Structure 1
Amino acid sequence: MTSTSPHREPIRVGVVGLSASGGWAAAAHVPALAGLDGYELRALSASSAESARAAGEKYAVPLTYGSAEELARSEEVDLVVVTVKVPHHLELIRPALEAGKMGFSEWPLGADLAQAEELAGLAHRRGVLTAVGAMVLGEFREVSALIENLRPEVTHVTSGAVAAKTAEDQIAVTGVLESGAVAAVHIRGGTSRATAFHWEINGTDGDLVVKADQVQWWYGGLRLNGARGEDGTLAELTAPARYQRSLTQRAGRSTEPACNVAHAYALLRDQITGNLAPDEDGVPDSRHAVRRHRMLERVREAARAGRKVTLAEQGS
């Protein structure tokens, strides 16, 4: 995270991509901000001035703009949040950074490594604080990978038309983390009648299992179970208090889409205002995002070459 001096509350937020018709920003970001102290949803921008006004009326946002550039120039905005599709990240995040505004981007930061490096470099030159909605398992030291497209055709659910699909639907990655732990990751397309998301961690002193009933687990509904020592079976666990920063979490509403986003906002707020605990690092920033993009490039390289690849070869 780029360093910054403590900021006084409330932090005035401008959201790029908030639509009156709904979407991720409406389902997660708006309620997350509404449930936290220290933030004010002050502005939004959309694809046109008309659609921005409609969204402003629906969500009671006082300032509306027809472009991300206008929003970024506003003196009424401290933090610009970009919630649009990835192909538009570069063109919409860049104005905020050029204006010297703090920025919060959904993952991935850019459409590829080059875009991520460009945005991270701009943030560094401008000396602005950035945050990226990313998750962490631990850095890989080396990876092997298999990437396949096993369903090269897809059928449109409404028209029945068949179209070619170029995106891979099977991604298998194995590797060694910097800690020395071995990790195996399998991501596949399609639906499942079994567990949609399963994350298992086996350690020296115990085991943890995180599950969700939908592939988009970040929408909420995660279940945490674990055991340690002499425990013979897994038991349901409650996340420690330091991970219960938002009102939705403390109220036991962890199944709501806003839950994880609210935690990220709360952590970012504490970082902006200088209230992080001494042992906390803050939220992932653009530099972390570049590291993830580089890791993904190495995964693709490992799959193409059919060999183990060391991440240090690319300075990740």
Structure 2
Amino acid sequence: MIRVGVVGAGGWADGSHLPALAALEAFDVTAVATTNQASADRAAATHGVRHAFADAGELAAHPEVDLVVVSVKTPGHAAAIRAALDAGKHVVSEWPLGVDADEARELTETATAAGVVHAVVLQGHHSPSARFAADLLAGGRIGTLESVALVAQGAPLGGSRIWPDLAFGLDPSAGSTVLTIMAGHFLAALERVAGPLAEVSARLPRTHDRVLVTGTERTVSNATPSHVLLHGLLANGATASVAVHGGNESAGDAFLLKLVGSEGTLTATPSRPGTFIHWGDWDIRIGDDALTMPGTYRTVPSSVRYGPAANIAALYQEVAQAVAEARQPHPSFETALRHHRLLAAIERSASEGTPQKIS
């Protein structure tokens, strides 16, 4: 049994990490932490957890915690991760790993030196649909892959208004933009299917210099992009075209993924309207033929509800196996660092107007 402490239990983790962990026999959530003791106590009571803290360091140091889950806002990731590593605990961090590639590199090096298991929540890597589509490509169902196109909506980021709890991300130094959060997850899912990008040419238009805070009459300055546009080459030689459009409201056609091969075309759309590509199931077609994904691709208990918790639960299954086998899980901090470098290359290309290689 892996004993887990969740830092940030009152936010995103409440509907994703905590339900995922509760459904898996390999884990026992023993501690939670939030920004103050009162909310930590409430979270502990809600989820039946024994220990509650207002400090991530105290949680990480507790003897009944083997693995620390970091699910706070991106600027707080580094401190919580370092506290876990200092205590010699395994770590699962939400994406992005850090606010930029430099911070991600430092955290990766520190985690490697600590000798613990470390994973990042790029849950598209564990999407059953993404794995099924990848296997279809690997099995030659559309011949040699020649081009990939992804169009996806990035709301609630990138629009003319923003929720109060997301307004901090309008400062690019916070590392929580339509590029890092939305495009970051979408590109990870795309690469899980089609393989890694090797070169990118990008634009990052900013449509709104000021953004209205929803529920108020206050506007705030915005220095982050509204959309992500890129063309590139995959390592396997196929071309790639990606458009992530920010906005205010989620749309029913949340994404369209098209993979064109020498012998056919595979298309994927969300099975449920408005579902992000890294969260839910896909409707997959080759030409005019709808395909049914074999049940073997779904490994998490049926009690895990549809949505982000399902693919996060699959990630935790991988983490448990990695702990048992004394190896690193996938995606690890090393995976996150490579992905941060991809986003940095996109930013450089948009700034300099030149193609960029991915290191």
TM-score scaled to structure 1, two decimals? 0.84
Deviating more after overlay: 66-75 vs 209-218: 209-218
CA contact (8 A) 1:47 1:67 kept: yes
| Residue type of the alignment partner of 2:283 | L
Find 1:258's aligned residue among 292, 309, 318.
309
Show the counterpart of 1:244.
Answer: 298
- How many residue pairs get aligned? The number is 287
CA contact (8 A) 1:93 1:103 kept: yes
| CA apart distance, 1:142 | 1.0
Show the counterpart of 1:309.
Answer: 356
For residues 160 and 217 of structure 1, the distance between their equivalents in structure 2, rounded to whole angstroms, comes to 33
For residues 196 and 349 of structure 2, the distance between their equivalents in structure 1, rounded to whole angstroms, comes to 16
For residues 24 and 216 of structure 1, the distance between their equivalents in structure 2, rounded to whole angstroms, comes to 16
CA contact (8 A) 1:201 1:207 kept: yes
| Residue type of the alignment partner of 1:195 | D
For residues 33 and 333 of structure 2, the distance between their equivalents in structure 1, rounded to whole angstroms, comes to 22
For residues 153 and 30 of structure 1, the distance between their equivalents in structure 2, rounded to whole angstroms, comes to 35
For residues 21 and 251 of structure 2, the distance between their equivalents in structure 1, rounded to whole angstroms, comes to 34
Instruction: Give the 3-state SS of the residue equivalent to 1:148 in structure 2.
Output: coil
Show the counterpart of 2:166.
Answer: none
Identity of aligned residues (%): 33
Find 2:208's aligned residue among 143, 148, 151.
151
For residues 201 and 275 of structure 1, the distance between their equivalents in structure 2, rounded to whole angstroms, comes to 36
Structure 2 unaligned residues grouped into runs of 5+: 125-187
| Residue type of the alignment partner of 1:222 | D
Show the counterpart of 2:242.
Answer: 185
Q: Does 1:291 align with 2:338?
A: yes
Matches within 5 A, 1:117-196: 117-134=105-122, 135=124, 136=188, 137=191, 138-190=195-247, 191=249, 193=251, 195-196=253-254
Residues 1:215 and 1:308: Cα distance change in structure 2 (over 3 Å): farther
| CA apart distance, 1:141 | 1.3
| CA apart distance, 1:239 | 5.1
| Residue type of the alignment partner of 2:56 | A
Find 1:84's aligned residue among 63, 72, 77.
72
CA contact (8 A) 2:59 2:65 kept: yes
Matches within 5 A, 1:28-43: 28-43=16-31
Instruction: Give the 3-state SS of the residue equivalent to 1:61 in structure 2.
Output: coil
CA contact (8 A) 2:20 2:310 kept: yes
Find 2:259's aligned residue among 173, 193, 201.
201
Show the counterpart of 1:108.
Answer: 96
- CA deviations 1:47-93 (Å, max 9, x no partner) are 12332222111110012222110111111111100011101111111
Deviating more after overlay: 182-191 vs 45-54: 45-54
CA contact (8 A) 2:252 2:274 kept: no
For residues 47 and 260 of structure 1, the distance between their equivalents in structure 2, rounded to whole angstroms, comes to 27
| CA apart distance, 1:294 | 1.0
CA contact (8 A) 2:118 2:329 kept: no
CA contact (8 A) 2:90 2:117 kept: yes
Matches within 5 A, 1:224-235: 224-227=283-286, 232-235=287-290
For residues 62 and 159 of structure 1, the distance between their equivalents in structure 2, rounded to whole angstroms, comes to 38
Residues 1:26 and 1:269: Cα distance change in structure 2 (over 3 Å): same
- CA deviations 1:242-274 (Å, max 9, x no partner) are x312113xx6x6633311111111121122223
For residues 225 and 294 of structure 2, the distance between their equivalents in structure 1, rounded to whole angstroms, comes to 34
